[in-house]
A and B are shown apart, each in its own frame.
Chain A
């Protein structure tokens, strides 16, 4: 019996394709954000609101991943999105870089400031797959458990911003803002937090300002 050294990252092919995407985004000065959350936290709602508020100011491309339907892509078009590509994964629980490359073949990047990727609703499977994004934005809503960062440390550790959504429902459950922040801070001391409501718009201004700042930083 012989042991042969063979060192290779399991996802090296995905990483190679993600690096291609990242290079293209950098060359074009486009800020690419990968939105991740459990199903129903409000990823599509946040993008709808963002299109409504910043649609005239920033040119946004949107890739909407879903296991079975194109519903989210339809919602984004109805909200004013003109550069929208659905990715139906056909059962796969995450997007991978190859899917992004394929989607980008049918999405013109000319003149874009921002590319949003709405990942499949899942806090586990997408965490291993680099899509070439600049950062991951993780959403959590106040109807979920405030211990989620502790339950999904991989994803919260790999994210740069945590958006706490549905603050209009605070007080209707056990969820406590202070606790979710504390739990997130234990996992990731670098994680920024923005709390808002996609329903009422409360707090959304901080999200817009965050985006504006990142976009201008990326352009420079």
Chain B
């Protein structure tokens, strides 16, 4: 259950960033998680919900984008989708493959209720 620790890191970073930008109402956190990380999205959501329960972040959603594994052949330079964890170049059958996608474990956006922009929208409507 290292997802609990990962969730803690997310809550930590996000709360600091909310404070830094003076933001209040968080709705969702956007994440990119590569298929080569040993992170189970359901476990991460479970851990996240457990941590934020009864805090101002309760009810915040995780919007998880799974990033497929992409390899680059060091022999011929071809980039290809890695299926079933077979790191074999489909062009030249090379085995020397660099992972260029699939290791991601990152936050990419925060979705907030922004009272200022809400006002602007209603003023122009």
- What residues make up the interface of A, taking CB atoms closer than 8 Å to B? 1-14, 92-94, 96, 124-125, 127-128, 150, 152-155, 157, 185-190
Contacts and interface: CB of A to CB of B under 8 A. Distances in A.
B20 to A, nearest CB: 10
Given A186-B86, A187-B87, A153 B36 contact: yes
B88 interface: yes
Given A10-B106, A92-B5, A128-B2, A154 B113 contact: no
A7 B39 contact: no
B26 to A, nearest CB: 10
B85 A187 contact: yes
A150 B112 contact: no
B106 A186 contact: no
- Main secondary structure, interface of B, reads mixed
- Main secondary structure, interface of A, reads mixed
11 contacts: A1-B112, A2-B114, A2-B117, A4-B21, A10-B31, A128-B2, A153-B36, A155-B38, A157-B87, A189-B95, A190-B96
Contacts of B14: 6
Interface of B: 1-2, 5-6, 9-10, 13-14, 17, 21, 23, 27, 30-31, 36-39, 85-88, 94-97, 99, 105-114, 117
Nearest to B112: A2
A135 to B, nearest CB: 16
A1 B113 contact: yes
A38 B39 CA distance: 18
A7 B97 contact: no
A6 B107 contact: yes
Contacts of B85: 150, 153, 157, 186-187
Contact of B108 (A6, A13, A127, A157): A6
A150 B6 CA distance: 24
Contacts of A1: 27, 111-114
Given A11-B9, A186-B87, A188-B87, A124 B106 contact: no
A186 B82 CA distance: 11
Given A155-B38, A189-B96, A10 B112 contact: no
